[in-house]
Amino acid sequence: MKAEWYLLEITEGGVFGLVHKISRTINEIFIPSLSISINIVDGMVNCFKTNSREERYTDNSNTKLIKKIELPDDLSSVFSSYFNSKTELDERAKELFRSLKIS
């Protein structure tokens, strides 16, 4: 499975972070065929749908394509399973909170 490895500089702390140039650099992998991005920040894996390469990885000084890489094909089924489970969890959690009149 073809993927792209990016280095992103992310500004932290909202306006304060912008003014004081507080940022961190993260490594992120984008899988175009699945429109999925994955990274690890502070030991936590983040996996999310990306609408388009252009939306997430614009050509600017904060984003750099490191190289195109090849991932194991079996990851496709792992990602599908993850997103199916996450969708079900999101729906069930919303239902639970509605029933408790929390949101």
Q: Which pLDDT does position 15 carry in this prediction?
A: 67
Does 66 lie in the same domain as 39?
A: yes
Does 24 lie in the same domain as 49?
A: yes
Does 58 lie in the same domain as 90?
A: no
Does 85 lie in the same domain as 65?
A: no
The total number of structural domains that make up the chain: 2
Does 63 lie in the same domain as 84?
A: no
Per-residue pLDDT of the chain (103 residues; tens, 9 = 90+): 999 999 998 776 666 656 666 778 899 999 999 889 999 988 899 998 888 788 777 766 688 999 999 999 898 889 889 988 999 999 999 999 999 987 6
Q: Alpha carbon 92 to chain centroid distance?
A: 22
Q: Which pLDDT does position 20 carry in this prediction?
A: 66
Does 45 lie in the same domain as 8?
A: yes
Does 19 lie in the same domain as 65?
A: yes
85 lies in which domain range? 73-103
